Amino acid sequence: MITEVCVCPICKGPLVSANQEFRCAACSQEYPIVDGIPDFFLSQPEDEEDQHWRENLVWLDTQMAEARDTIYSLSVREMKGMTFAMRQLGPLTFSGCRILEVGTGTGHFARWMAEVSASQTEIYALDFSWPMFEYAKLHTADQPGVVLLRANSTSKLPFRNESFDIVFLRLAPLGEHRMDNAQASLQLLKPGGWLFKAGWDPRNRGESWTEAVLKAGYECAETHEWLYPRTKTRAEYAASRVEAERAIAFGAPIGNLPEEPVSLVSMICETLRIARKPG
């Protein structure tokens, strides 16, 4: 139930649901429900020049959302790391289990988690991009456990502390005032809860991540890595829209990207980090 997990991001007061909105019982702030999605997004950072914030604005672009949806519909189930993640995550769930996915984007992973989770698992899939939600709605429409909600994951969050059994984070920011995402997750997790943090990374940084999160208060932590050769030609990438996405993300015209199969010059590394909060 959303009111058991979500609170007013401003004052942490309890929410009451009224017609097409939630209202804070303490400070009366109203939060609209837009096309089924509760909107707890408060404002942009005061510092408009904030570098991290500006980098993330690319995700509000409709073309970017379309590009990502196209790639993921083609390839997401082939990512070895994510298959491994789902195999690890599924057995940790139970009836009434609560998962927070930060930066759900197109909702592909929210859907996959719903498929591998115990029945009655609740998946709160957060993002701040309306164009992304259009795809997330499509991919999760037949998954009753998935709740989409809009908030700024780098600002005041609309959750009670210790609300989640699992926090799943893939290539998305979490933490107010640049709080480290593992630290922010630690606050949101119930005792004994699990952090799953996935992404692309340079190699060999696992050791220091593990050490850092153990120091931050996690009980155990492990890092997994999968190296993929980049084997596609430019034409193949263009066909799958990967190049289009990169061009938008990095402001690079598609024509500037290499003609040769990229495997000649690089490998990419998929990472999955799993840590557990003491029970």
**Greatest Cα-to-Cα distance within the chain, rounded to the nearest angstrom:** 60
Residue 70 sits in the site that holds ligand SAM (CB under 6 A): no
d(CA 30, CA 158): 13
Contact by Cβ (8 Å): 245, 251: no
Q: Which does 11 bind (CB under 5 to 8 A by kind): Zn ion, ligand SAM, none?
A: Zn ion
d(CA 148, CA 111): 11
Specify the residue for token string 């197109």: 106
Of 98 and 170, which has the nearer Cβ to ligand SAM?
170
Report, in Å, the least distance between residue 158 CB and Zn ion.
10
Sequence-ordered alpha helix ranges (H) in 141-191:
181-188
The binder of ligand SAM chosen from 153, 181, 223, 271 (CB under 6 A): 153
**Looking only at residues 28 through 67 of this chain, which bind ligand SAM when binding is defined by CB under 6 A?**
56, 59
The binder of Zn ion chosen from 16, 18, 27, 74 (CB under 5 A): 27
Residue 171 sits in the site that holds ligand SAM (CB under 6 A): yes
Q: Going by C-beta distance under 8 Å and a sequence separation of 6 or more, which residues neighbour residue 103?
A: 126, 127, 153, 169, 170, 171, 172, 173, 174
Of 22 and 135, which has the nearer Cβ to ligand SAM?
135
Of 24 and 198, which has the nearer Cβ to ligand SAM?
198
Candidate segments 5-13, 70-78, 116-124, 178-186, binder of Zn ion by CB under 5 A: 5-13
Candidate segments 7-15, 156-164, 169-177, 221-229, binder of ligand SAM by CB under 6 A: 169-177
Rg (CA), the chain: 19
Of 165 and 245, which has the nearer Cβ to ligand SAM?
245
Residue 112 sits in the site that holds ligand SAM (CB under 6 A): no
The binder of Zn ion chosen from 5, 6, 15, 24 (CB under 5 A): 24
d(CA 198, CA 171): 7
Q: How big is the CA angle at 232 (ends 197 and 223), to the nearest 5 degrees?
A: 20
Candidate segments 11-19, 37-45, 114-122, 220-228, binder of Zn ion by CB under 5 A: 11-19
User: Could you tell me the end-to-end alpha-carbon distance of the chain, in angstroms, rounded to an integer?
Assistant: 23
- Helix 108-116 vs helix 80-89: angle between axes, to the nearest 10 degrees? 40
Pairing of the two strands 220-229 and 189-200: unpaired
Of 27 and 57, which has the nearer Cβ to Zn ion?
27
Q: What is the token pair recorded at 194?
A: 């699990």
Residue 172 sits in the site that holds ligand SAM (CB under 6 A): yes
The binder of Zn ion chosen from 5, 6, 8, 157 (CB under 5 A): 8
Q: What is the token pair recorded at 174?
A: 């979490």
Residue 107 sits in the site that holds ligand SAM (CB under 6 A): no
- Where does 218-266 show beta strands of DSSP type E? 220-229
**Looking only at residues 73 through 102 of this chain, which bind ligand SAM when binding is defined by CB under 6 A?**
none
User: Where does this chain bind Zn ion (CB under 5 A)?
Assistant: 8, 10-11, 13, 24, 26-27, 29
User: Where does this chain bind ligand SAM (CB under 6 A)?
Assistant: 56, 59, 103, 105, 109, 127-129, 132, 152-154, 170-173
